[in-house]
């Protein structure tokens, strides 16, 4: 997928972008719906996400991040902005959400691609029970208490599974002491 | 920048990366991130985890003709060209448009803020960050030597020290340090040093203060 994005960036390759769109747009839409957006809004926001991907593709550096990570952050930010717009119908020109986007911190992007790959591998090898709650944590907007109820688990169990999973994944990257 | 010794909990950073925190907490966390490379790395890791989760989402078909209407919105080649021409130096999109750090929320420089006294030696300034979920964001200024009444929280509280210092049962907090307290934590911060201690605080519920007799008092009514 990152390779497609590189082709889009290099030559505005529409065929490559169409492949990227076919893969990601329905997943972004699915994510937004799981996060509570009605289907129409999710469709709009998925379009907007892909529009950002198209327009900013030349800023994407496959050395620095995986395509899915980048697209996740774009969709997440659009989701939060939409929720805030809904809460503040009158837009204030000084609204912080209308401020120009900050440049990323240089140190953030060092060797990201490799880290992203290792994080995905660590995620894939989590025990099923932890894998499940991590996915619900990132994809849904429901409070952890609601997720616990749905899974028929005590809230403490959901929280400790998340904590275990997060710690394990970061430990595998060598950031935390064993 | 001095070394930061108190950081948000891992879970808090993971909630931030997932877009789960309210606006007030988001401002506090992102302001800490601006100061803390270690936590920025953790958030980037959790965003990568979010990306891995995105790939596993059950796809939902886009509306019919979505691709065609996409190209219509994208316009012809010139949109792409224009964006390229004005593109910022940014190398990626790891920004937090929804969570700009503190500066964006201050209507005046921090030295010209209008403070409202709330207790001897303590004053506050409430910031407007209630646009997204329930959260209260405010600045608290504590004169050196002043001890806040012991208090607990009905919900989590994030406190980022901007200036000065305080100490409590957990330790000493200085600029850049973040106290990430859950709903059961009780603490009695005392400001120390030569200057006022200014903190940026996000709460999802009003603070509950206990007086010396252990009775519940609420001196900060009208937060």
Q: B66: which chain A residues are within 8 Å (Cβ-Cβ)? A: 25, 43, 47
- Check B98 against A65: CB less than 8 A apart: no
Q: What percent of chain A has pLDDT over 70?
A: 81
B161's enclosing H/E stretch is strand B157-163
Non-local CB neighbours of B188 within 8 Å, separated by 6+ positions: B147, B148, B149, B150, B151, B168, B169
- Check B46 against A166: CB less than 8 A apart: yes
Report the length, in residues, of chain B: 223
Residues 194-213 of B with CB under 8 A from A: none
CB atoms within 10 A of CB B215: 8
DSSP B155: S
Of A93 and B30, more confident:
B30
Cα angle B177, A75, B179 (rounded to 5 degrees) comes to: 15
Q: What is residue B123's three-state secondary structure? A: strand
Q: Does B75 touch chain A (CB under 8 A)?
A: no
Which pLDDT value is given to residue A95?
A: 45
Whether A34 shows a pLDDT value over 70: the answer reads yes
Beta bridge partners of A127: none
pLDDT digits (tens, 9 = 90+) for A62-76: 666 788 998 999 999
Residue A123 — very low, low, confident or very high, per pLDDT cuts 50/70/90? very high
Q: Does B65 touch chain A (CB under 8 A)?
A: no
Cα angle A29, A31, B105 (rounded to 5 degrees) comes to: 100
- Check A104 against B94: CB less than 8 A apart: yes
Beta bridge partners of B181: B157
Q: Does B78 touch chain A (CB under 8 A)?
A: no
Q: Does B170 touch chain A (CB under 8 A)?
A: no
pLDDT digits (tens, 9 = 90+) for B189-217: 999 999 999 999 998 655 555 554 444 44
Which pLDDT value is given to residue A29?
A: 97
Q: Does A37 touch chain B (CB under 8 A)?
A: no
- Determine the Cα–Cα distance for residues A40 and A45; give it in Å rounded to an integer: 9
The reply to whether ipTM tops 0.85 is yes
Q: A27: which chain B residues are within 8 Å (Cβ-Cβ)? A: 54-55, 57, 59
Which pLDDT value is given to residue B24?
A: 86
Phi-psi category of residue A119: left, alpha or beta, with phi > 0 → left and psi -120 to 50 → alpha:
alpha
């Amino acid at each position: 997928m990152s390779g497609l994005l590189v082709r889009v960036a290099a030559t505005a390759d529409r065929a490559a972008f169409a492949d990227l769109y076919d893969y990601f747009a329905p997943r972004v839409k699915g994510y937004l719906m799981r996060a509570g957006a009605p289907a129409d809004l999710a469709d709009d926001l998925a379009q907007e996400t892909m529009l950002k991907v198209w327009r900013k593709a030349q800023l994407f550096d496959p050395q620095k991040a995986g395509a899915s990570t980048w697209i996740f952050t774009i969709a997440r930010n659009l989701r939060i902005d939409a929720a805030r717009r809904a809460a503040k119908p009158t837009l204030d020109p000084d609204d912080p959400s209308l401020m120009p986007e900050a440049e990323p911190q240089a140190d953030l992007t060092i060797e990201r691609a490799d880290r992203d790959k290792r994080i995905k591998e660590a995620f894939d090898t989590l025990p099923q029970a932890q894998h499940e709650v991590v996915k619900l944590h990132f994809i849904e907007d429901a409070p952890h208490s609601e997720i616990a109820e749905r899974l028929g688990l005590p809230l403490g169990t959901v929280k400790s599974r998340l904590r275990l999973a997060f710690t394990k994944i970061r430990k595998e990257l060598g950031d935390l002491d064993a | 920048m001095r070394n930061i010794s108190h950081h948000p909990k891992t879970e808090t950073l993971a909630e931030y990366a997932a877009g789960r925190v309210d606006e007030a907490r988001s401002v506090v966390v992102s302001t800490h991130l601006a100061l803390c490379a270690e936590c920025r790395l953790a958030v980037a890791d959790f965003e990568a985890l979010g990306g891995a989760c995105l790939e596993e989402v059950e796809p939902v078909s886009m509306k019919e003709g979505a691709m065609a209407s996409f190209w219509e919105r994208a316009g012809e080649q010139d949109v792409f060209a224009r964006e390229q021409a004005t593109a910022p130096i940014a190398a990626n999109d790891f920004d937090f448009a929804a969570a700009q750090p503190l500066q964006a929320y201050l209507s005046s420089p921090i030295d010209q803020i209008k403070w409202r006294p709330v207790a001897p030696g303590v004053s506050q300034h409430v910031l407007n960050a209630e646009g997204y979920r329930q959260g209260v964001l405010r600045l608290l200024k504590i004169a050196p030597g002043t001890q806040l009444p012991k208090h607990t929280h009905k919900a989590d509280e994030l406190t980022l020290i901007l200036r000065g210092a305080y100490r409590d049962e957990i330790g000493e907090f200085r600029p850049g340090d973040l106290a990430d307290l859950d709903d059961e934590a009780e603490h009695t911060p005392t400001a120390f040093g030569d200057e006022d201690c200014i903190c940026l605080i996000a709460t999802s519920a009003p603070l509950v203060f206990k007086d010396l007799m252990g009775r519940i008092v609420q001196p900060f009514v009208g937060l």
